[in-house]
């Protein structure tokens, strides 16, 4: 969560660009291939519908959704151009070069100016993530086809990739600029973040070695000689996956010049260790039920909601929400599966239980991370 209110200018810029791309595609395109013509018409209607729908969610989610609409519009436009016999390979290459130049300029200009190191993490973590995505998309992962007329989909994908790179850089720059406009006392926090990271890396490494003993392979049917029930298995696997594969290791983030994401990952790893301990303790002492019922799922959901709401408490609620992203993702996934009426009831309950346990662990981990940031 950002420590300031994101103005709608960024979202509107993405929307304006998307609208211009969509309007460049006729509602009834004259394309010899009837199947492709129908697909482009359908895609145009879909993108137009996204444009007319007001995104609902947190500011960064709204920004992402608007940007996604823009890139879908670029894919549509590129496919239409190819289907009507236009070869835009040169234009795509030029836009790709522009995206690299924009990425280089923005990356070089960021010195992590912020009012506090805590705000630096909250502001620059989403910026780091966007610049990382832009760097990836600016490379020719998807090349423009030599025969675009017979490779319409690939042409559209190439347009989408370069549009994503440019739009993502614009979002990163816009977040930084808007934040600095709201802070007159901002100063570079880069060195302070790196000093904090050195302490956090040592603490996380020590905590892992002292408190965690992950098996070489995730347990499948039993743990410590205990036969796992469906809920226990899924809950243990979720806690295990978060520690093994949740995000890039702290050191990798630091080496890649992403200290804000590294700090958040330190908090998530500490919370993940405590979560794994709590889950394995629950399996050993039998407090996790053997099977799900309608009542147990409802109770688990209510407790998950209460746990998420409790993140508002404390001195640094925004920081807690940022660290608790794995718990929020688990909760949102469970709700989506319930809404779609396509789910395994024990998996759903396990997701709600993971949300609760991880969120409580975040509340314990964040004060240590924050104090490290403030003291270094």
Q: Is the dihedral of CA 312, 313, 319, 322 positive or negative?
A: negative
| 142: helix, strand or coil | coil
Q: Which residues touch 3 (CB under 8 Å, ≥6 apart)?
A: 118, 119, 122, 123, 179, 318
Tokens of 295: 């009542």
Position 244 scores a pLDDT of: 85
> Which residues have CB under 8 Å from 35's CB, separation 6+?
none
What does the pLDDT read at residue 376? Answer: 81
- Share above pLDDT 70 across residues of the chain, in percent, rounded to a whole number: 99
In this predicted structure, what is the pLDDT of residue 351?
A: 96
**In terms of C-beta distances under 8 Å and separation of at least 24 residues, what long-range contacts does 134-143 make, across chains too?**
134/99, 134/102, 134/103, 134/164, 134/165, 134/166, 134/168, 134/169, 134/172, 135/103, 135/165, 137/99, 137/161, 137/162, 137/164, 137/165, 137/168, 138/96, 138/99, 138/100, 138/103, 138/162, 138/165, 140/96
Distance CA 183, CA 187 (A): 10
What are 176-216's pLDDT values in tens digits?
A: 999 999 999 999 999 999 999 999 999 999 999 999 888 77
Structure tokens, 181: 């406009």
The pLDDT tens digits along the chain (376 residues) read: 899 999 999 999 999 999 999 999 999 999 989 999 999 999 999 999 999 987 777 899 999 999 999 999 999 999 999 999 999 999 999 999 999 999 999 999 999 999 999 999 999 999 999 999 999 999 888 899 999 999 999 999 999 999 999 999 999 999 999 999 999 999 999 999 999 999 999 999 999 999 988 877 777 778 888 888 889 999 999 999 998 886 678 989 999 999 999 999 999 999 999 999 999 999 999 999 888 888 999 999 999 999 999 999 888 999 999 999 999 999 999 999 988 877 789 999 999 999 999 999 999 999 999 999 999 8
Neighbours of 262 (CB within 10 A): 28
Query: Whose CA is closest to 264, among 174, 129, 170?
Result: 129
Contact 139, 73 (CB under 8 A): no
Specify the pLDDT at position 30: 92
At residue 314, the pLDDT reads 82
* Integer Cα distance of 324 and 20 in angstroms: 38
């Amino acid at each position: 969560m950002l420590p300031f209110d994101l103005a709608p200018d960024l979202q509107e810029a993405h929307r304006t660009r998307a609208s211009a791309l969509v309007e460049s595609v006729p509602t009834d395109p004259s394309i010899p291939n009837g199947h492709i013509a129908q697909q482009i018409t359908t895609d145009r209607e879909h993108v137009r519908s996204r444009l007319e729908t007001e995104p609902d969610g947190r500011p960064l989610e709204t920004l992402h959704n608007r940007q996604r609409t823009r890139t879908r519009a670029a894919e549509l436009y590129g496919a239409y151009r190819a289907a009507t016999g236009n070869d835009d390979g040169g234009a795509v290459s030029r836009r790709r070069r522009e995206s690299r130049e924009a990425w280089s300029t923005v990356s070089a200009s960021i010195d992590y100016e912020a009012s506090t190191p805590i705000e630096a993490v909250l502001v620059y973590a989403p910026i780091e993530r966007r610049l990382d995505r832009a760097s990836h998309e600016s490379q020719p992962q998807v090349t423009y086809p030599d025969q675009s007329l017979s490779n319409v989909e690939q042409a559209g994908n190439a347009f989408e990739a370069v549009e994503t790179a440019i739009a993502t850089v614009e979002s990163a720059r816009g977040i930084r600029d808007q934040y600095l406009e709201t802070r007159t006392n901002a100063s570079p926090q880069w060195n302070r973040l790196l000093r904090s990271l050195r302490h956090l890396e040592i603490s996380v490494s020590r905590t892992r070695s002292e408190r965690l003993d992950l098996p070489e392979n995730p347990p499948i049917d039993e743990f410590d000689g205990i036969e796992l029930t469906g809920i226990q298995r899924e809950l243990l696997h979720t806690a295990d996956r978060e520690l093994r594969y949740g995000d890039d290791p702290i050191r990798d983030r630091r080496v890649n010049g992403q200290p804000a994401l590294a700090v958040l990952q330190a908090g998530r790893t500490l919370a993940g260790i405590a979560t794994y301990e709590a889950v394995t303790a629950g399996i050993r002492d039998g407090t996790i039920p053997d099977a799900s019922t309608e009542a147990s799922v409802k109770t688990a959901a209510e407790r998950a909601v209460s746990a998420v709401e409790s993140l508002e408490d404390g001195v640094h609620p925004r920081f807690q929400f940022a660290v608790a992203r794995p718990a929020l993702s688990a909760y949102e996934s469970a709700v989506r599966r319930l809404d779609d009426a396509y789910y395994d009831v024990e998996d759903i309950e396990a997701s709600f239980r993971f949300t609760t346990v991880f969120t409580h662990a975040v509340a314990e981990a964040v004060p240590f991370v924050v104090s490290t940031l403030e003291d270094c």
